[in-house]
Chains A and B, each alone.
Chain A
Amino acid sequence: MIVRFAGDSGDGMQLAGSRFTEATAEHGNDFATLPSFPAEIRAPAGTLAGVSAFQIHFAAQDILTPGDEPDVLVAMNPAALRSELPALARGGTVIANEDAFSKRNLQKAGYDANPLEDGSLDGFHLIRIPMTTLTASAVEALEGVSTRDAGRAKNLFALGVVSWLYDRPTEPTEDWLRRKFVNKPGPLEANLAAFRAGWNFGETSELIDVQYKVDPATDVPPGTYRNVNGTTATALGLVAASVRSGLPLVLASYPITPASELLHELARHQDMGVRTIQAEDEIAAAGMALGAAFGGALGVTATSGPGMDLKTETIGLAAMLELPLVVVDVQRAGPSTGMPTKTEQSDLLMALHGRHGESPVPIVAAATPGQCFEAAYEAARIAVHYRTPVILLSDLFLANSSEPWRVPDADALPEIDPAFAAPGDEPFEPYARDDKGARPWAVPGTPGLMHRIGGLEKQDGSGDISYDGKNHARMTEIRASKVAGIAAELPQLQVDADDGADLLVLGWGSSLGAIRAAARRVRASGHAVAVAHLHHLNPLPTNLGEVLRRYDRVLVPEMNTGQLAQILRAKYLVDVESYCKLEGKPLFAGELERELEARL
């Protein structure tokens, strides 16, 4: 089942959605979520620009994506209906707050006639509920509740209705309200009353004639689970890498949507020894992270969109200094400010090549909200072991979406050994190499290892300034082969292939769920297909060329104009086909299913 809550950005739809998600987790369903909200904090009330929505996909089996088309749309006002109705599955259910369908609100949403009455919703199952009125009458008798509290509680009424509809437990929501409003009895009572009124309305009203039972999921691996979005999982991955490596974590960032959330999340973990700095600008944020790395910390900077442009200078310096640095790029639609609250995968070529000079940098891409944990941990591991900046590509969809995440065993996480240089008998050479091609990390404070590093070209070994052409050629090759050499320890690309499959669908980043779901659907209709997913974009797995050549056709779906496809064609001379989408939305299983069907 897929439910989308939609209303004005002041209507509390994100809250209703996230509470429904918690109750769904408690119920034991598998799920995936997708919030969507306007770029403006308060777009004009009642307008299409101000619509905020939260979608959740839940089921008794393994869920791969937040879903394409909702089955149920909760529309708190005409603008929400108009904006979100096109996505609703045919024959889907519309639950509308009819109180909000005033003449003025209809005008603001661009309706000439009331869609609840003019028959335009005949193809859907329409449930009209006077939510504002019912919420007001549920709370009017309560003492100490203001009109304002009552007016703001209608999202809880809607949540109550939908919670009843899907038989969600009520305790998690009620407990959460008690915690949230612990010292605010007015809003607490209003919200509790509204939530219960919504639930009871569902149970007693004859408007809703069916209640759905979605059994707890049974095909998920055993373990302890929690609900995480990509931001939380990234933060946890970085903290875990910091604790496991023994390196203090220093995150320096400048506020930018959607990466700011990572700054907020990590700022809460001071008790774990996590240091966060809100820098004066994006450049300083990268510089501070790199300065911290020079001092022996796990230096991290996180950004999105234009912030990435500004960090490139420092990433180049980090490549030259050969110091660990993790750069988290939560991609969003560009160019320039673009669509700051919409997702895209269009920074891949920039991550690979967006610096002057020959400046190779490893790239790790996160595939699902929960997998952001592993990806962040892996980015830190590579950065530390190879003394190199690493770019972690996430995106807005991953950052904001959530899914159940199986909590890993902290003690079983891969080792991260900083292996700081220690004073020895030989004269210290800051650009000597270990067997992986990594140079020593000698931190200030270590007696006998004083040395100078900088952006100027280094003499191989000694690290002294060198303008020798042959040395520059050698150092260029050394830096390149160090990064390329990481491939030797990376897992081979795994292909999930049916016998006789001629078509390979190769994805990267956040499209994993949509690709797997599309493959599942075409398989269900009897087709053979092969699917694989890249988690490392630089270096690429060593068997990638062989895998690509194994299939007659290779389809690469991406939320860009075909950036990975371009790399694959250039590198492997394989006639890769692209499926590109740049609409600010994640890839959907339905559209990929159609693309696959067309090729099978």
Chain B
Amino acid sequence: MSEALTAKDFTSDQETRWCPGCGDYAVLAAVQKLMPDLGVPPHRTVFVSGIGCSGRFSYYMDTYGMHGIHGRAPALATGLAAARDDLSIWVVTGDGDALSIGGNHLIHALRRNVPLKILMFNNQVYGLTKGQASPTSGRGMVTKSTPFGLQDSPFNPLALALGAGATFAARTIDRDRHHMTDVLRAAAEHRGAAFVEIYQNCPVFNDGAFAALTDKGKAVFNRIPLVHGEPIRFGPDGEHGVARDEAGDLEIVAGGRGDLVIHDAHRDDPTLAFALAGLAASPGEPTPIGVFRAVDRPVGIAEATPKLAQARANLAPGALAELLHGGDTWTVA
């Protein structure tokens, strides 16, 4: 590349069509802005998306893109990674797409550690189908499909991802461009599958679901930033922190204590990340954000791709004929 790339190089000519005020705009802008920094040109970048409002994302990136079917984006992307190890592959999905109809594909992509950057926009509602409860909606939530209040308990997406063996799991918020960019960059730099939950406001069907983490005056009390190697402390002046109680469970304590938990995202053992994922029962209370876990593990699927490509490249001219003649043969004159 002779000239430096800009966000414009990653912006397609399609008119973006989300509702006014949708959190998706902020994610799109952050991603387009980040892309030039990653050093991967648009033609080596692929966005694969599922169905739902988030599914439109791929149309707005001037990269290669595939808008798939509901829940299947991780499967499509896994196939692409199996064929090609020279691409940067991003999956854009939502809470319904990834955790309901596509749950199986998500957990297996994470289990295999396929080199995919999976961005899950969590707005805790079905937006495109106009407002039904999603697998991350809170108990009791009243929607068109749950007029008497939702009876089910929600998934904890990070706990699910960690349970599936995610080697990279993080959470960020649409309204915090800076934090989101840092998390996305860390995801991009991760060698295997990276799972990023993005709290994303749906102004039409679930407005304010993350207000405790985004509203001025509230956010600073409720965001628990996770910084690798640092004690977990939050509040305007760090007056709160996270420590272990006598049973070893995490609890919120005074920030001045000397026994605060030191965040370690690179720990082989995922139990701290898992405990942090479960620290908040809902985003209405103090909630950790940042990189929960980032560990180096053998990469799945794409690892064999260059080897197989090499085998094909090295095929002797008569290899196919030899294969066809394999086994016991006989000749009829």
* 0/1 interface trace, chain B 319-333, chain A, CB 8 Å (1 if under): 111011111111111
Least CB distance, B105 to chain A, in whole angstroms: 5
C-alpha spacing A295/B308, complex, angstroms: 15
Contact between B329 and A226, CB atoms less than 8 A apart? yes
Contact between A273 and B330, CB atoms less than 8 A apart? no
C-alpha spacing A182/B104, complex, angstroms: 43
Contact residues, A391-442 vs B (CB, 8 A): 407-411
Contacts of B332 in A (CB 8 A): 28, 217, 220-223, 225
Contact residues, B35-50 vs A (CB, 8 A): 41-44, 46, 48-49
Contacts of B104 in A (CB 8 A): 280-281, 284
Contact between B108 and A280, CB atoms less than 8 A apart? yes
C-alpha spacing A222/B330, complex, angstroms: 10
Least CB distance, B216 to chain A, in whole angstroms: 37
Least CB distance, B266 to chain A, in whole angstroms: 28
Least CB distance, B92 to chain A, in whole angstroms: 12
C-alpha spacing A464/B15, complex, angstroms: 11
Residues of B within 8 A of A (CB-CB), count: 62
B83 at the binding interface (Cβ < 8 Å): yes
Query: Which of B61, B82, B86, B315 meets A250, CB within 8 Å?
Result: B82
A274 at the binding interface (Cβ < 8 Å): yes
C-alpha spacing A273/B311, complex, angstroms: 5
B282 at the binding interface (Cβ < 8 Å): no
Least CB distance, A19 to chain B, in whole angstroms: 12
C-alpha spacing A304/B270, complex, angstroms: 39
Query: Which of A228, A295, A449, A455 meets B43, CB within 8 Å?
Result: A449
Least CB distance, B113 to chain A, in whole angstroms: 14
C-alpha spacing A297/B313, complex, angstroms: 14
Q: A410-B324, A452-B58 are in contact. Are A291 and B80 (CB under 8 A)?
A: yes
Contact between A314 and B309, CB atoms less than 8 A apart? no
Contacts of B76 in A (CB 8 A): 287-288, 290-291, 294
Contact between A454 and B67, CB atoms less than 8 A apart? yes
Contact residues, A230-287 vs B (CB, 8 A): 236, 239-240, 243-244, 248, 250, 252, 269-275, 277, 279-281, 283-284, 286-287
Contact between B319 and A26, CB atoms less than 8 A apart? no
Contact between B331 and A275, CB atoms less than 8 A apart? no
A22 at the binding interface (Cβ < 8 Å): yes
* 0/1 interface trace, chain B 59-95, chain A, CB 8 Å (1 if under): 1011111111100100111111111101100000000
Least CB distance, A399 to chain B, in whole angstroms: 17
Contact between B68 and A317, CB atoms less than 8 A apart? yes
A465 at the binding interface (Cβ < 8 Å): yes
Contacts of A26 in B (CB 8 A): 328, 330
Query: Which of B68, B78, B318 meets A455, CB within 8 Å?
Result: B68
C-alpha spacing A38/B287, complex, angstroms: 56
Least CB distance, A328 to chain B, in whole angstroms: 16
Contact between B68 and A248, CB atoms less than 8 A apart? no
Q: A243-B320, A295-B83 are in contact. Are A314 and B312 (CB under 8 A)?
A: no
Contact between B327 and A227, CB atoms less than 8 A apart? yes
C-alpha spacing A236/B327, complex, angstroms: 12
Query: Which of A281, A296, A410, A451 meets B321, CB within 8 Å?
Result: A410
Contact between B312 and A248, CB atoms less than 8 A apart? yes
Contact between B42 and A450, CB atoms less than 8 A apart? yes
Contact between A283 and B311, CB atoms less than 8 A apart? no
Nearest to A27 among chain B residues (CB) is B330
Contact between A272 and B326, CB atoms less than 8 A apart? no
Contact between B331 and A223, CB atoms less than 8 A apart? yes
C-alpha spacing A451/B45, complex, angstroms: 11
* 0/1 interface trace, chain B 258-300, chain A, CB 8 Å (1 if under): 0000000000000000000000000000000000000000000
B305 at the binding interface (Cβ < 8 Å): yes
A119 at the binding interface (Cβ < 8 Å): no
A292 at the binding interface (Cβ < 8 Å): yes
A86 at the binding interface (Cβ < 8 Å): no
Contact between B329 and A277, CB atoms less than 8 A apart? no
B128 at the binding interface (Cβ < 8 Å): no
Contact between B82 and A288, CB atoms less than 8 A apart? yes
Q: A444-B64, A452-B12 are in contact. Are A284 and B87 (CB under 8 A)?
A: no
B304 at the binding interface (Cβ < 8 Å): yes
C-alpha spacing A213/B63, complex, angstroms: 70
B2 at the binding interface (Cβ < 8 Å): no
A547 at the binding interface (Cβ < 8 Å): no
Contacts of B129 in A (CB 8 A): none
Query: Which of A225, A271, A284 meets B331, CB within 8 Å?
Result: A225
Query: Which of B48, B72, B325 meets A283, CB within 8 Å?
Result: B72
Query: Which of B84, B321, B324 meets A295, CB within 8 Å?
Result: B84
- Candidate in A26, A280, A286, A296 with the most chain B CB atoms within 10 angstroms: A280
B301 at the binding interface (Cβ < 8 Å): yes
C-alpha spacing A411/B312, complex, angstroms: 17
Contact between A291 and B328, CB atoms less than 8 A apart? no
Query: Which of A239, A279, A287 meets B323, CB within 8 Å?
Result: A239
Contact between B43 and A446, CB atoms less than 8 A apart? yes
Least CB distance, A330 to chain B, in whole angstroms: 21
C-alpha spacing A410/B323, complex, angstroms: 10
Contact between A407 and B80, CB atoms less than 8 A apart? no
Least CB distance, B138 to chain A, in whole angstroms: 29
Nearest to A22 among chain B residues (CB) is B328
Contact between B79 and A452, CB atoms less than 8 A apart? no
C-alpha spacing A481/B105, complex, angstroms: 34
* 0/1 interface trace, chain A 84-108, chain B, CB 8 Å (1 if under): 0000000000000000000000000
Nearest to B48 among chain A residues (CB) is A291
C-alpha spacing A568/B34, complex, angstroms: 58
Contacts of B75 in A (CB 8 A): 279-280, 283-284, 286-288, 291
C-alpha spacing A455/B58, complex, angstroms: 12
Query: Which of B49, B84, B304, B321 meets A411, CB within 8 Å?
Result: B321
Nearest to A299 among chain B residues (CB) is B79
| 14 further interface pairs, Cβ-Cβ under 8 Å (given A239-B320, A452-B12) | A26-B328, A26-B330, A225-B329, A226-B327, A248-B309, A273-B311, A277-B78, A284-B105, A287-B76, A295-B83, A297-B83, A410-B318, A444-B46, A450-B62
Q: Can you give 9 A-B contacts (C-beta < 8 A)?
A: A270-B311, A273-B313, A275-B83, A280-B75, A444-B84, A445-B43, A450-B64, A454-B59, A464-B14
Rank and list the top 9 A-B pairs by shortest CB-CB distance, nearest first.
A454-B67, A291-B79, A273-B312, A287-B75, A288-B79, A295-B83, A452-B65, A291-B76, A297-B83
